[in-house]
Structure formats: C-alpha cells, structure tokens
Structure 1
C-alpha cells in the first residue's frame, strides 16, 4: 500500500496478517536478557499495516517541516533519528491531521515483534546467527561461511572502517524479512507505543500496547548501527525516556478505520 505525503513523498506499508506467536526470548537463547522473559503466547486477531522501512528524513520533513537528524547519516532516504517518543507522538498527530484516511500510530511492542519475526522463532528473523565469529565484536565477519550481514546494519559494518561509513544507512539497503519489512534488525532503534516494564509478567496477550501501570520509560526495538548485533535479535528490547533525543527513529503502523 502506498500513501503520498505532502510534496508527493511516498510512504510504503505492508499488510501484516493476523496470527499467533511466542513473544520473548527462548530458553537458553544466546546473548539475551532477563527482561525478555517470560516467553509467552500472543494472538493478534486483526490485520494491520506497518511501514516497509523506518520513517525517512524526507517523510518526516514532509510532515513536520524540519529534519532533526544530523552528523550520523543525512539524506532523503536515510532514517530520521534524534527524535524523542514525544516528538513521534507529535509526528503521528500531524500525519493523522492530513486527512489521508485510516489511523497512523506507533506499533505496540507485540505487533513490532510479531512483524519482525514474520513467522520465524529463531534469534533473528533470518536465523539463529549472523554467521560471524563473534557478534559482540567486529571480529572476522567478512569471508566467514554463512555470513548474514546482508540482512542488517550493526556495529561491525557501520563504524567507519573498511566496512562502511560511520552512522546510519539508507533505508532498504539490506534484505527484507518474509513480510517485506526492511531494517527490522539494526540501522536505528524504533519506538513502540508501550511503557517499559522490566519483564513480561502481566503483559497483554492480544497485541495491544502495554500502557498500565505507567512508568517513566518507553520501549524501543530493533537495535542500531552503533550497537552489537545481539541487540537486533527479534526478542531484543530496550528503554528510552520519552523526551530523550538519542539515535532513535520510528516505524509507522496504520489501521483502517
């Protein structure tokens, strides 16, 4: 599905079908954390749409008239970053005010992980390993059998060495997952609607955002160019203050009214 923003800037969205999955880290999952527990069943009983890429700087500027990104990769097709969760709420409100139809929003954390996995229960949507000798370091990734760095941007291939320039990269430069979504692992972190909780005890099981009890922080997902690869696992999650302007971006969800 294509939506056109002011100035003719295109926004592509993929339909995500209803379904069920196991959310959270698997038992004995390598390089994982206790705040990804307990793994639990989630059923999303509705179709929804998710942007095929992270929101680009061109898309943000078309709606907001500004581009907050700088220093770590700039250009129309680069992801927007240095936006806060509060900024993203203002962006969504402005976008919905354009009268384009339906409702734009941030995805829930459950919707995000379901879409990222795209039917896979492995560590990453493309398998259990990047095929590198050590995901925690730049290591010897190049030339190793089974190297999967064609699926994600992370610390190894974004540090200004022989592997590429320092910073975020143009969206859609790596291979997509089975739902046709790009950069679900790596490039920039992506905000979700949910409040951060230290684990999944009491989490909704229907795909809705977890909004109670409220906390100070919001959920971010997907890892980023400046982080080690394991942060980009499908179960990987982190937190951000809602007014913090770190290297975090946004991926839009959309539902038909």
Structure 2
C-alpha cells in the first residue's frame, strides 16, 4: 500500500511539473544591451521595451526556440537589426551598437627610435634628441574620428557642442573644430555607452610608432610624399623630392580616401592634425621610454601630430610636432582614438 502511495505521489508530481518543465526547455533566454543605452527593442516586429541606460544592466527576454529578428532603434542613431537563432534551454547575449563603429587596429608591442635625425630636411629642434621607446600592445583607430561618430555623441547628450563643418560636409569626413577638452567629453561618453571601454587619446610616442609603421624615413611613404598619398597643400616642395603637383584641395577629405600605411592606418599624414594625450615639451629630454603619455611640462599646450590639408609636406613628417591650447579648436584639427586592450 505504501509503495502504491509513493508511486502515486511521484506520478502526480511528475505530471504536475511536466508542463512547466516542457515550457522552460522549449524556450531560450536572450540578453541584450545596446550602445548607447535606452534604445527601443523589437523582436519579430513587436516592441518589447527599452534597453537599460547603464552598461551594468541587461535587457532579458524568454523566446521560443527558433529564428528571430532583433532590432534596436533610438532617435538620432541608425537602427540596427540582426537575425539570430535561439536554442531551447540556452542563453544568448547580443551586443548592438547604434553608434557608428570605431574600427581599431591592434598594434603589437615593440621598440622604435622616436624623433628625427639631425640631418632630416625641415627638422625642428623639438624633434630630438632621438631616443628608444618600447611599448606594450595597444590599439589605435584605423581612421580619424568622423563627424558621424561625433554626432552620435551629440545626439545622445554626451557632447554639448556640434562643431562647424565649414560647409564641407559631415558624415565620413573627419570631425574638425573640436578642442582637446571636447575630445575628453567624447571619450567619457564613449567609455560609458555600454560597449567596449578603455578608449583614450593615443600617447605621442604611440602615435609616432603607428605613423612610422616600421619606417625610419621622414614619411611612412619614404623620403617623399605626394598628393596621391595624402591630403595636404601640394603647392609646396620638399627638399630632394619631385616637383610639387600644385594640387591643393583647401579642405578635408572623407577618411580613408588615400592609401593606408603598412599597418593599415589611414591619413596618418595630412587631412587633419590629430590631438594626442601629452603635454607640450620643447624637447625629448626626460621623456618617458615606455610609451606612456608625458603629463609633465607645459600642460596649457597639448601636442598635435600628422599635419593637415592646410600644411606643406614638411608638416606631414612622422616626427613633426606642433601644439595647441586645450580649449582651442580649428578647421585643421581633429583626433584619432586609441584603446588599451582589456580596458
């Protein structure tokens, strides 16, 4: 009798649990977060709510096994849509970026000689003394930061000012008329969007290492550079090089319009001057040898690298340095991002 009761009880228990168990195993769990947060989430055309505003939270929903279409929308951003398969009894995490993607290039650790040789044409004294700098791996933007990427920050309330484009257009042109201080606003926003973190300005040493891409010549293109290789004022000559082309476009060009260097980086020479993290110093005496930013010296001036559409060839040299006040913006000034892996 007791055995029958035990069997009856077990049978009833199994019977009562089976529908719930079957329901659980017939569904999977989808976890979603977006960059930036607070985006409207749609699954198979039906609105399911908003993604969390904080990167520390996640939007979760149970879905039946099968293929589903996930879509995220937010005013001022391009919608993003993805088709995915949800397996029964599984959990899937999806990260959706509504802001334009910032493509980074991984740079291996290594050493190089920073600065210019004393006999380099158009060399300035602040480019020496030459010294060895060694690095841990880092990442740097494949392209200069664009207006599209900047405007995503403005639309999300992370950046206050919409820089003027001088009437040249926005989109994939490099953002201009921003200051070093405004660049810090953008970085703060980007690092709190819910995606990857660790974004920052490159150090001056990282910038030159990446610009040279293993070369020791004045330009990554060799001893000379032409208006087919970079955007600059081609009415000027550079010593020992072919006659100038006299091509001067008088404005920025969309990023990636010219061939990349050997490490796949575009516009390291010309287009816009790029802010780096370092304070200004008149020479490299006492400069860090580990690739870190030099945060001592005249911090009322910040270093710019790369030359611009307005500059002559000498300003495009890999070792050339100039400076600007941290609150100063100009039509020749933009930036490129760096990132610490695992940041």
Runs of 4+, deviation exceeding 3 Å: 4-8, 161-165
The alignment status of 1:250 with 2:327, answered yes or no, reads no
Match of 2:254 among 154, 158, 170: 170
Give aligned pairs, total: 234
Equivalents in 1 of 2:102, 2:315: separation in Å?
Answer: 27
Match of 1:210 in 2: 294
Q: Give, in whole Å, the separation in 2 of the partners of 1:219 and 1:24.
A: 14
Work out whether 1:54 is the aligned partner of 2:149: no
- Compare 209-218 and 100-109 and name the one that shifted more: 209-218
Contact between 1:24 and 1:40, CA under 8 Å: does it hold in 2? yes
Question: TM-score, length-normalised on structure 2?
Answer: 0.65
CA distance in 1, matches of 2:326, 2:195: 27
1:1-257 alignment, distance < 5 Å: 7=78, 8=98, 9-44=100-135, 46-65=136-155, 67-71=162-166, 73-130=168-225, 148-156=226-234, 163=247, 165-246=249-330, 247-255=332-340, 256-257=342-343
Normalising by structure 1, report the TM-score: 0.86
C-alpha distance in structure 2 between counterparts of 1:238 and 1:97, whole Å: 31
Cα distance in structure 1, aligned partners of 2:180 and 2:139: 20
Cα distance in structure 1, aligned partners of 2:220 and 2:118: 17
Q: 1:162 to 1:71 in 2, by over 3 A?
A: farther
Whose relative contact order is higher, 1 or 2, with alpha carbons under 8 Å and at least 6 apart? 1
Task: Give 1:129 deviation, angstroms.
Answer: 1.2
1:72–1:37 Cα change, 3 Å: farther
CA RMSD of aligned residues (A): 1.9
Ranges in structure 2 where 5+ consecutive residues have no aligned partner: 1-34, 37-76, 79-97, 156-160, 236-244
Higher CA-based Rg: 2
